[in-house]
Chains A and B, each alone.
Chain A
Amino acid sequence: MRRLLGGILLCICFNAAASPQAQDPTVEIEVKKAKIDALENGSLRFLRENRDFLRAQLDRLRQVRRELNGGASALNARDLLLRELMAGIEAGEDSLARERALVAQRELMQSVSELGELESQLDRLEVLLGGQSGRLDQIEADYAGRQRTALLILVQNFPQQDGPERIILEDEDSMRWEVSLSAEQREALRAGGAAQILHEFVEPRRLHFSLRFAGSGYDARPAVAVDVDPARDRINLLSIDLARLDPSSEALLPVSHFQR
């Protein structure tokens, strides 16, 4: 779609959070040039130079494939394993509930043989619990083995005088995250609080964002470039200190970057 529009991106901004706009249903439409997150020239050179030939080869392939393929897709081994584990956990829960109910129903031991039955039931409970524990270990191991790179951007502190009413973060693909700050939230920031601007999985490469502020005289302030090189498979936290933010100054803002 973006290609069909010839690189023109329509960006519709709803300012519902701010009280004046909440009463006025006006929709602000901003037309911007799309930032094409293009691959640099040195990469996949053969593919780009010979794309017509390769696509022609693949076009032939697709026709053959439709005749041979009944539409089935490859099974995902991980999904199958997780489904199996979940089914096992559910079955185990049913068995545990039944055994617990049986144990609870015993009000009085009628004979020594019943004591033996109780022991057997407790043994079965132990086995069932062991099975559940093993399945949870497998799920935990699967999760731990699939760590992903995440980025969390926070702002902390706030100018003592009027601060911005909105904070707008934009990435290289023109994706926007906008946070509106109420008077109470701004006061909380002044008192040393923090506000989350972004929390996303990201590619483990150098990322470029721009940070803008709006409201209370901040609209004309130039955007601030935010570059971050997130550590792979970690949660990366970027904390931006707004205490010295000034609408008439382009002074740099202190940023802390750390990983967990």
Chain B
Amino acid sequence: MALIPGRFVLPLLIGLAGVIPGASAEYGDVVLNRRAEKEGVRPVIFPHWFHRIRFRCKVCHAELGFKMRVGSNDFKMSDIVDGKFCGACHNGDIAWAPDRCDLCHSGKRGLPTGIFGGHETGGPGRW
């Protein structure tokens, strides 16, 4: 006998989507944890929705050189302090300065780098 009868599988799977970490994150939220936790800080949460209200995609993805694929941008805090990547705005002038560690490093420990949130789809597999 199967452990879970067929008629329960679908509601259970759909239900589990609600308890998988990050399934209720806002669409397009990004977790960055290439180095953060190894360095002793929380992972970074980057909310696309917040930033696109204020900046068009092209500002970060053309002017600042952020590649589209999550995890493909290999930079360190020292780059940000030097005004590169996030540091082009997060400099205490346009947005908060890099000394406000906790505002960006606000994610749950143990989360992998990736794009989270999805109202209808789990997101493309290759992200």
B and A form one assembly:
no
